[in-house]
Structure 1
């Protein structure tokens, strides 16, 4: 997106047109002036020097030559040192985009030369809405509950959500259904969590043990189950304390309100 903002043929803009040849090439991953580097697999100083040797050359067709370095915190200290001089006096035709999930691991000498944008994780609700739009466009049948499982498993990453959805389509014979998605993810459905809480609050010990026995057949991660129960109890407590404070961002609004 940032590469399109910088190189869109309409000019540098926060809203690239998306239809010019440059925007299309970047979106389709065939722009020769956008160089993507996976720092996790190219951590050595020799790799960095090879990359920087080409910085001096002008972009072929675009306004800027853009180097997108993913997981930049994985670079070695020697690689960062080799990069410093270029970052101090970058050529006018070059832009560096550093992506990282752990900025604290970057040397302060590098951070001080960068403009930082802290991107927030997407909520499961946003992910579910987008996945639904994509699947509707592709005419693929799905259960909304399956999309919520995918949205929660993606942990705020749309890229991971789309990757998981591709796997779910293959796993579910060209459909995205609740049960196959649950089997694929090995996740515990929110319905089970609220069923456990309902059994506890109603003092229904027999039903509680039956639910736990059914869960054990799938060899669940019990630590994750406890985390899910704590998260549900937290949302229930908020719903009891403040009217209208609970939304459907986790896909469980009705269950939380009912439990509260």
Structure 2
């Protein structure tokens, strides 16, 4: 992963970083013991995060920056350990968001970030979705992908069947839903399914969900970015649970 924000978010989520490679002027951000006691990075990170980093390597910008995936390198790269959760384990979370064929890594990462913000315990990306662990998706998630249970690679039918078996009410986001956000049901376990903006939900998603929900919009707007729609609906689902 790359960039201070993503690396900091990963550390805050409990990730173990095998190595951090940083421009010399940024090394103190991840090695606070080498900075003055009143240095803001030393105060912010402290010794706790340092224990999550295996090694810290200062690397000149002219060597480090060409390795970056971003258009504007930010001087920090990291190697992190990650593990996907089994589908049946992800289905035990009380609140789950499913990304069905969401191919843009920035959007997928933004959904993960919003899911963490509102307390969703699992993020499932179906087969055909972008890689949630890719550098761009991790940047979009601000490194927070290490917090929730993450599951990848299963078909939509497999995912929705497992969630049904685990007792989830499965809510599908769609522009023509028959339920508005103000009438969302509340249950102990709930799942939000968001799909590809260009093609909408698949036939498997339509047949495998319990509720179709839409967000009222003023004309001429007829759709929202998938990350924005997911954030609105996940927040609404959290509030509905709190008021039930």
Would you say same fold, with TM above 0.5? Answer: no
Which one has a larger percent helix, Structure 1 or Structure 2? Answer: 1
Which structure has the greater CA radius of gyration?
1
**TM-score class normalised by the smaller sequence:** under 0.3
Q: TM-score, normalised by structure 1?
A: 0.24
